[in-house]
Structure 1
């Protein structure tokens, strides 16, 4: 019965307080009565004492006034003194009567009577007789009276009597005060006793209530500690018998434990699934792995995985994998958007769950028979708002909410994985096609050479036996015609190969544009967010923005690596040889990699031999690129120990005959580490594209596998080579050997060199850095340069427009926007106050080249600064834009600081 009655902790505590308050109230009433009584008596004593002192003082003053007025009248005879004398006589009698009423002590009253007798004696023997004699002008009698001077003795007696009276009053009052102090001590002891009693009662009540509360809290705490000690393996819950807030706490704790178990289950299974498909590079393998894992986690009995494919602008989804597919008939082979439930799911981009399964649906085969499914789960996998894959699952038990949540969270990022693998497969396919065409052309060339040698031999034989072998001469002519035909076919194949190479170059340019265009807005906006200039973001959100910006930079580096490798393979990489100060190399490398070494707790050594020349002739940018790639790999694959960089100049006796023929200084740059090492059978493999020594399905160290391939090709273009010495588990040593070439590499010394544009932005970046250094102390001047300037942005990508508009408006510029060249010309016709144009190149309707040409030639605006912006990074882009009328050129993705520097330069030059 008591357990069913809910008595809350608040009620228990309140009842205890009520008992204590009642006890306190009773004690307060008792003590208040005692204190009130004491206070009244003390007030009476104080008041009575004050009145007695006041009245005695007034009586004494009145007597003294009478004496003074009596003497003054006797001396002067002025009647005004008589009036004062009489008034003082009335006052002392009135005050004396009042004092006599106040005094209760008999001894004190007796003293008062003596004082009164003394005063009356003075009046009758001195005061009144002297006044009477003065009125009668009896000076002789008055002289005799003053001579005797009995009044002085009476006055002295009055003063002594008053002092004695006051002392008596003080003694009486002190006795009463002492009595009150005794009573006050008794009250204090009584109060202390009551407080002790109330404290004991309060402790007893608090102890009872606390035992009631602490007992249940202890049980809850013990249960939580047992669950914590079991590391979530214990599934127990808290049980409380009391019907109060502790019971509610236990229920809430149990709900929390249930939620934590569900969350832990979700995180654990998501991590297991993601780990399984990491590192997979084939879509079929990815589909099989994902479907197998997701089916296990959701207890699915059937499953199918479909991937989107586009052929001649027709979209369909093709089955790539199936689960529990014993006869290869789980799910249809393909479907289109809107076709059936699964097609409707792909069309609407929504998850579909069905629990009412039709009777004719496919049965699930088990070892004992066939069972109808209880639930169907169709999930679209979305990437950039497009469905790129669909997964369909069926189960015999139905999908609970936890399983549904698991699937939804897994597919949130799975679309990115699928798209990445499809993109990588497409790149590999294109590379393989290019290599196949190259090999085919080489085979045809060899065949043609063999046929040419054979023809030459036959011609010589025909010359020798021309007369005897006329028929064989005709045969040779026939073969000659066949050879001519083969030559034509070979030329056609070469033209086709050249066309394919152009297609590949155009594809790389377009791919660069498509990837750099969204990267442009990502890098600009993420950089603005990371700066957090208005402190609108939390530290965590600002850190997210920094991670996004860093990831965008990594992606840009990957794009540049792929483009560099493709250009090297196509023979379109220009190498610019110039002076390089070797004394600055150790300092630059130290500044770049010392923080990396410190972060990974590695030793980093740099040494340069004294005989190394100060001025070395090579392409400094490509030299630095090789060196940084090798050092990055060394730090990447070294967990403990050290990384070392040694710069040496080869002595004459170390040079081979071929090296001596070059007539140049040779450097040997050695990068060694104590890392994981490379097996001997993979020394050549790691220099191939997209290859690493860690070539397992799930690669531990990540990376694209392009770095060493690019280093090898760049070293070759610099006239040198890279060698490797390494054993697995014993570290690696990469050696770069290159010559100093003041005049570059002569054509006859090279097997294959062609034109390449190093990068349209390299010179511009250097110029921007110089200008940035020169203007960093003039922030106020920058504000004046940008303030109120009208900038026209011409771009068909709303993301770039949004990023640039926000960045430039913050610096006080007025921004106008045009979506293509036609709209740009219309705005310029209507507005003649535009200070500068940011012109995108690849746009619909009217591209950037044509628009700039019209502005310069037809509209004759030759002084208006036009900055060309393009995401293409291929040959001659800078020259083409400048020929079309651009004032300057920047490649995407834009570096915000560089853009601001360029704007400052052109706006200042325009203003001057």
Structure 2
């Protein structure tokens, strides 16, 4: 690897991603430029056309004010009627000049505007002023004859109106032309996006093919090699890889493993062949010859000898019983005792010796052409019952390898038992020959000895088979170990991918929550103001439209919350808060919440609680009530006639889990459409209902029952369904009372929360720090809201600074606050906010958005608190990205309170009132 630069897989993948990212950056820059151009055109249409129409209407209004004032004065003679006339007469020319400048790019429209100006001046000069002067001089009769004599002058204002209508119609045509041009640019942008997407896909596919092609080939070769090892296949093949990356390392490691396996196979097969050579041998001499010949053959020894012990104790000596390629001039030493020479020392120490670099005067190895000097010497003891029973000596022209040494050790392990067995058989034969003349009793004893010898032979065979089995199991275990290691690596990689996917999903849901809730905030505020403000001049039908828009926006908000709740449960990041639940108040709360729904649909609604149900129940109250409300809402939705009931009993038959005081059984029964048997499992899946017809007729997202089931599991309970199509349904909830929360052996444990987990958003942190929590009933919060409405002058004259980069939110909040007679100033980011605070000294309250460009809300609040002059101004943080820890972050940064979007006007006014009072 020194000749070429290493280009690893990580580098290849990083390079591929870098190319893709560069393509995406170029695409984003191109799209951004196009969007900026379209945004400029859009802003022109909005700002220019709205101002033109506004000034047109204002001039027309001022003309009408002059006409009304002139007529009122002529009829009554009261000088107060001339006040709007005089004010309009002095102001309309200023608006006319502004409008004339705005349409400087359109000479035809300027010409129409000049005609309107001439008509206005003519009406003022020849109609309005003369008639007013005659009225002041008391010439009432002259006034009547004045208008009868010249009726065209009395219709001057009507002509001006007609001219304004023509002017506005022409301007609307220009607006439509600009909008059509903007649509064409949008179509071009879409086409460009598709082309860029196709290009990025092609580049990504090419990079993926290149990188995967460099990996898959070697991985397949590794898999084939591992399969060969696990199935006793050919392990002599090696993997050749030309790349200089981790795949090369994998191939080298696999080749090393194959070498080890091949070496072990050779060792096992060689050991088996050596053992097979001397099987069935009946004499020590033949046994020694066969053993030394087999060992010398596989170790490539050039000479060797085997010495077997004779005698016991201090008289024991080792006699040569076999030789391989013995020197022609000498047969070597015939015998030795313990401690004599190296071979005697080896027997005494009971250890194997290998001696390399033998001296030149060492005994020569003879061949037909001459004698050669051996290079290496190996001496190995043969053990039986922890005693040296024989010694093996080998000489070689080459150094003995570790494989040769392992082979010698393997063969000598069982050879001792064979020597002892042969010696015993020889002893038996000798005894048989000596006992031919002995009695039948001695002959029987001889037969017994023969039987024992056979048993020993069988034991020897069994030991050999056991040894082979152990070796085979060792090989299989090593193969499985390699497979397990590979599987472990794959599982770790998949775990990393799943963790990365989960993080991406969480970030996506957090961003989508922010993007959806920001425009939804403006929709809810403005529609609520239109629906509830009867003094805005809207018709009853328009007010109904506003209420429908507000209701639809609220439904969309509930859907967003349901999806985030479901994702929170699926991610295992939902935290349970166990506390006391007052069961005595539960029936009345449910009746108040759903009684109006039953009356509206003409259904009988019954809530029954048995007397033995304890008043105090320990669970997560919020999730518990949400389960009941979802089940009851589902029952009312699918019931057209009949009844809906809720029955609460103390369950005595259900086996309580560890840590549960008791169990409750809550049954929600209805006489609705029912659910087919084959759909019982389907309805608990997310975004599923019984069938397509149900979805079309009753609507809904199919999330309610799915969320209910997940919440029930988290509370340690169970949810059962009994239903048949056309006969109604009964949902039965079994839930334990857990004073200490879920135990370690509960069905599902709540995992620790993560700050990056979007599922912790929305509901848990929606209320501000000093806000009273709202319920479906009339609460303290609503009473405070009523008191605020009664004191309409409370906010009058107060100054509020709105800091938000979204013009829709600024418009909605500004409109709502100005309706309360408040002074409103706005800033689009933190930098503008600080500049305005430097110029304004009487700001009573700041409404601060968090996610803004240039300078976000956190940094802005810190700088405000660091400025002693404005440090005491109350700041209410407003944000659409309501994460679990955002409240704490806002309070630490300097916020006085915290409200998540979409806002409720009453809630906002309540919090503002508290902080303005405490200022």
What TM-score results when the alignment is normalised by the length of structure 2? 0.47
Between structure 1 and structure 2, the one with the greater Rg is 1
TM-score by length of 1: 0.47
